[in-house]
Amino acid sequence: MGKTLTYKILEAHLVEGELVPGEQIGIRIDQTLTQDATGTTAFLLFESMGVGRVKTDLSVSYIDHNMAGFGPENHNDHLYLQTVGAKSGVYHSRAGNGICHQVHLERFGKPGVTLLGSDSHTPTGGGIGMLAIGAGGLDVAVAMGGGPFYLQCPKVLGVKLTGKLSDWVAAKDVILKLLGELSTKGNIGWVVEYFGEGVGTLSVPQRATITNMGAELGVTTSLFGSDEQTRRFLAAQQREQDYRPLQADADAAYDRVIEIDLSCLEPMAACPSSPDNIKTIRAIAGAKTGQIVVGSCTNSSYTDLMMVASVLKGRRVDHLVEFAVAPGSREVLNMLAENGALADLIAAGTRVLESACGPCIGQGFSPAEDLVSLRTFNRNFAGRSGTKGDQVYLVSPETAVASVLTGKITDPRDLSKKMGIAYPKIDMPDTFHVDDSMIEPPLSQKDAAKAEILRGRTIVVPETPPGLPVKLTGRVLLKCGDKITTDHIMPAGTYLKLRSNVLEYAKVVFSAFNEPGAPTFAERALKLKAQGVAGVIVAGESYGQGSSREHAALCPMYLGVRAVIAKSIERIHRANLINFSIVPIQFGDPSDYDQLDPDDEIEIDNLLGAIERSDTVRIGAKGGAFEFVGNLNLSDRDRQILLSAGLLSYTRKRTHE
């Protein structure tokens, strides 16, 4: 049988292990990306490794998350990243140049290349034929230092696309359809690979929308082949030399195949408050909405915004709707300004936001209370918008602009049927407006030796994890349910500016679960830590889904959390737990979840011995009220990292051997 494209790229980059599904492998990383919310910690950890300059073919540091400078913290981070990148051999995309995934697709993405990014939506690069994977900042730091990236050799889900999208139906509806079938959990250890004659009808930006939001499936990554559409996109970006054709073999053997007929799709939405709560727009049409925003790394391309501007030209936003667009890059914004589309948007009553992540991560534009908000983003976790009890629906730009005109959730096909508005077919431009003046190249090695790194006082080197105890004595600090996201663990929004100072950021760990007037999670955890008692988290299915933010492991580690016991733990977060010396344990029998309650005291005898040579641990109540078995599911490398007190100590040890 032939090879999938996934396995062709893995084979070309394999440095350790065998390509057997489920086995751990190490692959060479060609490119890395970081952004300012995760990048500061990643670079502090990179510096502590002592390797000097990056060893990748290309590494890029982006400023796109912490843009609002309320206080000195964010600008301190920007200056640190700008100067440490220049010294370390890293390109720097300045604030205002755009969202990392959009800019990387435009200016750096190459078919067949491996990309590791400290952002969970790094798989956006799969739209251009890259094997692009999201990971924690420490894993990215190791890759920047020349180390392999380790992952579970995946199974490959082939998604066969046939037909062609109808007018007013979007690429966003493709991934919403898939999320409705597969959900956000249970997909660990898979890669999604798109193939079939329908692929050729999708442009690179459309493919990137699909691979971007594929992160919500919980898979390792998603990707398309590289074909004539890819060549056209790269040529328009004046990078045709980076093109290479890449496809799976005609007889490629997929572990599972799902078929989607593009011509049969209809507009859909992810309803509150999960990306897999999928309904058709027809089913929810008519609900009033007062806020709509088009943007984020999912839907802020030139073609997306041109479609919106074309519909709004000569028309007005409904008077009860607050509407905004956030172009994904400065390139897109410049082109809209030059061709008059930006003026059309403004004349219609549109607010134009910065080319950044913005509302998608709770950085402003929060909706009013009890208000339905439509967004073209990739996540609608409860409270992520910055409003408690929010009602956020994830939709396509087509559905968004239709609803902008009517003030209620509207099937965009009704614009043609009931309002006589023809669907604007936006072609890819033959040439993009390329201006890389806000992408700064690194200093030469000679100049770097004399360069100063600017370190504001709000930038604090993270604490190194302590070694695990031979016997763990712990107390359940929190028992939570299913689908606990990294937003629940470490809130973003206004707290993002604290990410460079773990001591301060740790104060809001699990703040979503704090009760008024009661001691906070952080206060209770630090009190236990002072007593020499480990903190333990108990959770249900799909613990740690969502963002790659390593602070969801780093800050709990600082507070003294040493173990997470859950029914299942998502891939990136599980790796982050191990990297920061927190033991991830899965219930051997999911019903044992019911045996544990908050404040229960537990014991794990011979924890280090189990990590070293066993697949299970025995977890008992202090005093002997109950006992059950937990599964470790550790690779040999995972064991070595935990026994070394985390990935940083493990890497230092290996570097100096």
**DSSP codes joined into one string, 181-204:** HH-SSS-TTEEEEEESGGGGGS-H
Q: Is 440 a member of any domain? A: no
**Residues 499, 378 share a domain:** no
Q: How far is CA 286 from the centre of its chain?
A: 32
The rounded distance, in Å, linking the Cα atoms of 498 and 506 is 9
549 classed as catalytic: yes
Do 323 and 244 share a domain, yes or no?
no
Q: Which long-range contacts (CB under 8 A, 24 or more apart) does 513-520 make?
A: 513/478, 513/480, 513/488
pLDDT at 656: 59
Domain check: are 16 and 55 in the same one? yes
* pLDDT value of residue 173: 98
Whether residues 587 and 625 share a domain: the answer is yes
94 is catalytic: no
Any domain includes 67: yes
Domain limit, last residue, from 264, 287, 314: 264
**209, 404, 576 from 552: Cα distances, Å:** 26, 36, 8
Same domain, 485 and 372: no
**Euclidean distance between CA atoms 398 and 19, whole angstroms:** 41
The structure tokens listed for 53 are 């300059």
Domain-ending residue, one of 232, 264, 296: 264
Per the structure block, which two tokens stand in for 355?
């080319």
Based on the domain organization, do 69 and 117 belong to the same domain? yes
- Answer yes or no: is 486 within a domain: yes
User: Cα dihedral sign for 472, 618, 580, 541?
Assistant: negative
Write down the pLDDT at residue 655.
64
What digits encode the pLDDT tens for the residues 518-570?
A: 999 999 999 999 999 999 999 999 999 988 889 999 999 999 999 999 999 99
Q: What pLDDT score does 186 carry?
A: 85
* Number of other residues whose CB lies within 10 A of the CB of residue 519: 12
pLDDT tens digit string along 315-343?
Answer: 999 999 999 999 999 999 999 999 999 99
Using CA atoms, how far apart are residues 277 and 285, in angstroms rounded to an integer? Answer: 16
- Closest C-alpha to 438, from 75, 59, 92: 92
Residue 458 has phi, psi (to 5 degrees) of -85, 0
For residue 326, count CB atoms less than 10 angstroms from its CB and return exposed for 0-12, middle for 13-18, buried for 19 or more: buried
Q: Are residues 288 and 345 in the same domain?
A: yes
Number of domains within the chain:
3
Same domain, 82 and 231: yes
CB 15 within 8 A of CB 148: yes
Positions of the chain with pLDDT under 50: none
Residue 412 has phi, psi (to 5 degrees) of -65, -20
pLDDT of residue 654: 76
Same domain, 624 and 497: yes
Annotated active-site residue in 59, 385, 547, 644: 547
Q: Which of 119, 344, 411, 592 is catalytic?
A: 119
Measure the CA angle with vertex 634, ends 189 and 557; round to 5°: 100
Q: Is 411 a catalytic residue?
A: no
Q: Among 379, 399, 419, where does a domain finish?
A: 419
Here the CATH number for the domain that contains residue 312 is 3.30.499.10
Residue type, 274: S
Shared domain for 245 and 296, answered yes or no, is no
- 215, 235, 233, 234: which is closest to 223 by C-alpha? 215
- The answer as to whether 461 is a domain residue is no
Q: Are residues 293 and 252 in the same domain?
A: no
* 427 given a catalytic annotation: no
User: pLDDT > 90: what percent of the chain?
Assistant: 92
CATH number at residue 548: 3.20.19.10
Residue 442 within any structural domain of the chain? no
In the chain, the amino acid numbered 312 is: L
Q: Are residues 499 and 554 in the same domain?
A: yes
- Distance (Å, whole) CA 400 – CA 394: 9
Quick check: is 64 catalytic? Answer: yes
Out of 64, 139, 173, 276, the active site residue is: 64
pLDDT of residue 363: 87
Among 30, 36, 65, 88, which one carries the catalytic annotation? 65
Active site residue 53: no
Of residues 13, 101, 379, 499, which has the active-site annotation? 379
User: How would you list the strands of the sheet with 439-440, edge to edge?
Assistant: 131-134, 114-117, 31-35, 58-62, 91-93, 439-440
Residues 6 or more apart whose Cβ sits within 8 Å of residue 279: 268, 269, 271
591: left (phi over 0), alpha (psi -120 to 50) or beta: alpha
In a domain, 143, yes or no: yes
Q: Print the domain residue range for 366.
A: 268-419
Rounded-to-integer distance, Cα 24 and Cα 77, Å: 35
3-class SS of residue 226: strand
Tokens of 200: 């050729």
In a domain, 437, yes or no: no
- Tell me which of 78, 94, 524, 549 is the catalytic residue: 549
- Contact in structure between 572 and 120 (CB atoms under 8 Å): yes
DSSP 467-509: PPPSSEEEEEEEE--S--BHHHHS--GGGGGGTT-HHHHGGGT
How far apart CA 409 and CA 420 sit, in angstroms, is: 18
Which pLDDT belongs to residue 657? 54
DSSP string, 594-650: GG--TT-EEEETTHHHHHHH-SEEEEEETTSS-EEEEE----HHHHHHHHTTSHHHH
